[in-house]
């Protein structure tokens, strides 16, 4: 009797071929919502990235309104969390900029909350990680760069240009030092944006890659082996949560440091 063809899962052979493969980078794909729109040759379509930005802004608004609604002397958990985030950013600004940074608190706090919520929402199933796109993080970084530079010129006028002249440097070294200082200043938006973008992309790619190991191992009968990827995914999700919070902190504290340079011109 002629043996029939081997099943696709016999002895685990053909499991990988039977699975529907997707690139780990597909989770970052921009998708239009409600059709394609263009204006003057530019694509102005509403997409999933814009949707999750609006969701983040709406969630921040609701979160803050609920937290400050009662303002009890003995705060509840929600109010305590809002006050913790408020004090956290306020202390960060005070430690890095001083009392003069108080006037910039609403702007810095808004940056922190937006980056934090966008990072955290990216961990939800079927969500979209807004900060995984370099164009978004670069736009945020460029906003910080332009506003900080404007503050520097408004407060100090053209004397702000002396920021690019290192104090105590010999005169004969200035032709070399000044271009280096100018380049390092203008590279700030790129370094600020790439740091956030790279960390978000790397973590989410790791989650997808490890997640792709679980189902094939289970179908192959390697239930014990499947525990390892599941445990790894759980650990990485916890790590990604910490990274999401840490990157919001890093982005904000660098904003405070740049703001301090513009306000006090410390060098």
Neighbours of 246 (CB within 10 A): 13
Residue 138 is assigned to a structural domain of this protein:
yes
Residues 6+ apart with CB under 8 A from 122: 128, 129, 130, 131, 132, 200, 204, 244
Mean pLDDT across 6-30:
53
Lowest mean per-residue pLDDT among 5-9, 95-99, 126-130, 134-138: 5-9
Per-residue model confidence (pLDDT) at position 229: 66
Per-residue model confidence (pLDDT) at position 91: 94
Residue 79 is assigned to a structural domain of this protein:
no
Residue 23 is assigned to a structural domain of this protein:
no
166-202 pLDDT, tens digit each: 877 788 888 888 899 899 999 999 999 999 999 888 8
Burial class (CB in 10 A: 0-12, 13-18, 19+), 248: buried
Residue 80 is assigned to a structural domain of this protein:
no
Residue 164 is assigned to a structural domain of this protein:
yes
Find out whether 65 and 57 touch, Cβ atoms under 8 Å: no
| DSSP state for residue 172 in the 8-state scheme | G
User: For residue 111, what are the domain limits?
Assistant: 88-264
Of residues 146, 239, 141, the one with CA closest to residue 196: 141
Binned at pLDDT 50, 70 and 90, residue 71 comes out as confident
Check pLDDT > 90 for residue 37: no
- Distance between CA atoms of residues 261 and 76, nearest Å: 38
Tokens 């009968």, residue located: 221
Residue 7 is assigned to a structural domain of this protein:
no
Per-residue model confidence (pLDDT) at position 10: 42
195-247 pLDDT, tens digit each: 999 988 888 887 777 767 666 665 555 555 557 667 767 777 888 899 999 99
Binned at pLDDT 50, 70 and 90, residue 266 comes out as low
Residue 239 is assigned to a structural domain of this protein:
yes
Partners of residue 39 on adjacent β-strands: 42
Q: What domain count does the chain have?
A: 1
Residue 199 is assigned to a structural domain of this protein:
yes
Of residues 196, 189, 182, 208, the one with CA closest to residue 243: 196
| Mean pLDDT estimate for the chain | 82
Per-residue model confidence (pLDDT) at position 6: 47
Per-residue model confidence (pLDDT) at position 52: 92
């Amino acid at each position: 009797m002629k043996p029939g063809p081997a099943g696709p899962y016999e002895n685990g052979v053909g499991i990988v071929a039977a699975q529907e493969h997707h690139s780990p980078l597909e989770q970052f794909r921009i998708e239009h919502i409600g059709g394609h729109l263009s204006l003057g040759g530019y694509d102005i379509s509403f997409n999933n990235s814009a949707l999750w930005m609006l969701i983040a802004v709406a969630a921040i608004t609701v979160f803050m309104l609920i937290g400050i609604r009662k303002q009890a002397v003995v705060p509840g958990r929600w109010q305590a969390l809002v006050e913790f985030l408020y004090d956290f950013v306020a202390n960060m600004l005070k430690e890095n900029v001083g009392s003069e940074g108080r006037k910039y608190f609403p702007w810095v706090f808004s940056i922190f909350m937006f980056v934090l919520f966008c990072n955290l929402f990216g961990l939800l199933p079927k969500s979209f990680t807004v900060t995984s796109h370099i164009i978004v993080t670069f736009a945020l970084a460029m906003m910080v760069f332009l506003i900080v530079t404007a503050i520097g010129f408004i407060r100090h006028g053209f004397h702000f240009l002396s920021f690019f002249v290192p104090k105590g440097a010999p005169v004969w070294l200035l032709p070399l030092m000044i271009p280096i200082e100018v380049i390092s200043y203008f590279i700030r938006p790129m370094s600020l944006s790439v740091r956030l973008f790279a960390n978000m992309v790397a973590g989410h790619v790791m989650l997808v890659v490890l997640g792709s190991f679980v189902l094939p191992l289970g179908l192959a009968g390697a239930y014990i082996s499947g525990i390892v990827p599941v445990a790894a995914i759980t650990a990485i999700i916890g790590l990604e949560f910490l990274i999401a919070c840490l990157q919001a902190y890093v982005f904000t504290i660098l904003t405070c440091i740049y703001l301090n340079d513009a306000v006090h011109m410390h060098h």
